[in-house]
Structure 1
Amino acid sequence: MRDNIITQNRLKELLNYDNELGVFTWIKPTSNRVKAGQLAGTPHSMGYTTIKLDRYLYLAHRLAWFYVHGSWPNEIDHIDHNKTNNKISNLRDTSHSDNMKNQKIRNTNTSGINGVYWDASRGKWASSIHVKNRNIHLGRFVDIEDAKKARSDADKKYLYHQNHGDK
């Protein structure tokens, strides 16, 4: 997938973007398989929507940003973690580091709280946070709520997004 190949004028010639719904529709289809007015894009294996324009494949959320702002984003964060919600109000241009501060809770998480895990060797809850390629240990706690508070305080201190760790 590429950026910087298509111009904003060409994009707007081919597609209409509805920023309230977060969807693209064809104005001028580039294939016989689609018609003007049809929704543009197909699901990608990673859950994102892709759109093929002039032989190049683009991620719809990046196109949405480019369509509205006229510049290519560094990295797009879906604020609500829904990879198909391409409403401009749900997208933010961010660095990779900041994008990592707004992740869904991993499906391997057993505590239900990001950065909190059971330390079986000590029989306590442990809390940690990842900052600038370092894992920072926040402490071990008898009560899971104390471990959760330590992580929540660290999230604020290190400017993690308020949705970080949501399901």
Structure 2
Amino acid sequence: MTDEITMDKAYCTRNVREVLLCPDAVGALLKYNEATGELFWRKRTAGDFRGRSTRGPQHRCNNWNSRNAGRNAFTSRSSGGYLIGSIFKRNYMAHRVAWAVSHGRWPDGDIDHINGCRADNRMVNLREVSRSVNNKNSRLRDDNKTGVVGVHWHEGRMKWRAHISTGDGIVWLGSYEDFNDAVNARQRAEAMNGYHPNHGRVTLNEDNEVK
């Protein structure tokens, strides 16, 4: 996508380190389908382009529209599994762009993918949360050996141990002969500390299949 667009005043500064396109400007460039989570490039007009070519803004406009208008946007995938794209050489996360277009503002905190599929940007799967709340709806780590977050085997004690992270740090929940007792202790603690029911789920791919 060309960056020769006349939107010099369309940026808003959130803090010293973050300068973003204003949500209205993003909405003028992209259409968001809340039901499917897809983003599409909108059609441009010649007034959106600077005349730095001998062929003029209209030629640039026609060329851009023929290649991009109406087509899916933000289809690249980050190493972490999120859909990403760029606008005027600035990189953006698709889920944050979707939120900005839908709500008319950039999210103040994190955007959590409720079902754990990071490419599923349907509005029903997105929620604005703080970082601490987002961490309470995390997928199961690839290096987890028990299949349950916060439960591990202690060789020295020859028992299953359970723990949980709270605002005050790590809280140990006891040692158990039976694995299920340790799991139950962890689940009770999650409920008491506001963890999402999906926390610790198995990682899903874009087709909702187990990786």
User: Is 2:72 aligned against 1:57?
Assistant: no
Q: More deviation in 95-104 or 106-115? A: 106-115
Q: CA RMSD in A?
A: 1.9
Q: Secondary structure at the match of 1:126?
A: strand
1:103 paired residue number: 138
Amino acid at match of 1:28: K
Moved over 4 A (4+): 29-33
Gapped runs of 5+ residues in structure 1?
Answer: none
CA drift of 1:20 comes to 0.5
Gapped runs of 5+ residues in structure 2?
Answer: 1-16, 45-60, 203-211
Alignment length, in residue pairs? 166
2:195 paired residue number: 160
Q: More deviation in 53-62 or 141-150? A: 53-62
2:105 paired residue number: 71
Distance 1:85 1:150 in 2: 31
1:5 paired residue number: 20
Q: Secondary structure at the match of 2:68?
A: coil
Distance 2:183 2:159 in 1: 13
Structure with higher helix content: 2
The percent identity for this pair of structures is: 36
User: Is 2:165 aligned against 1:130?
Assistant: yes
Contact 2:23 2:106 in 1 (8 A): no
Distance 1:159 1:8 in 2: 31
Contact 1:4 1:72 in 2 (8 A): no
